[in-house]
Amino acid sequence: MARLAAFSSSGPSPEGHLASGLASRSSVSSTTMADQAVSLSYPDPPLTDGTVVLRRWAEGDIGCVEEASRDPHIPEGTTVPAIFTVAEGLAWIERQWGRADNGEGLSLAIADASSGEALGVVALLFRRQPGTVEIGY
């Protein structure tokens, strides 16, 4: 199965239509964005179109992080470790969980809907500029 170029933040995303459901199925509560408090939670149930599913990262997704670390361009523009170790890979997954916990945004694994295998990432991150978010995949 071909891997998605999912750690890149440029170009159109085949998962874009799934991301539109992210805001509508997330809760509102803590980080400031414009003049309203906004906090994102993991969609429940996870978002899917039957081909891919957007879900919370799991420790079992470490292989996806390892594969991404082998592409020299991915660590250049992301927090994926440039030199992979299990400890660094797990730390990356924990940072993804922390984005929701600390009000930074939300990072979801893009997984194959049939196998559950993580193929990449889509993230919605609040920026310092009021009313500004960044979407990366």
3-state secondary structure of 80: coil
And the tokens for 118?
A: 């993580």
Assess contact for 131 and 33: CB atoms under 8 A.
Answer: yes
Q: Which helix (H) or strand (E) holds 63?
A: helix 62-70
Nearest to 136 by CA among 81, 74, 44: 74
**From CA 87, how far away is CA 128, in angstroms rounded?**
30
3-state secondary structure of 104: coil
C-alpha R_g of the chain: 14
Mind listing the pLDDT tens digit for each residue in 96-108?
999 999 989 999 9
pLDDT at residue number 8: 35
**From CA 82, how far away is CA 102, in angstroms rounded?**
25
Domain residues of the chain, as ranges?
16-136
Mind listing the pLDDT tens digit for each residue in 31-85?
444 455 577 889 999 999 999 999 999 999 999 999 999 999 999 989 999 999 9
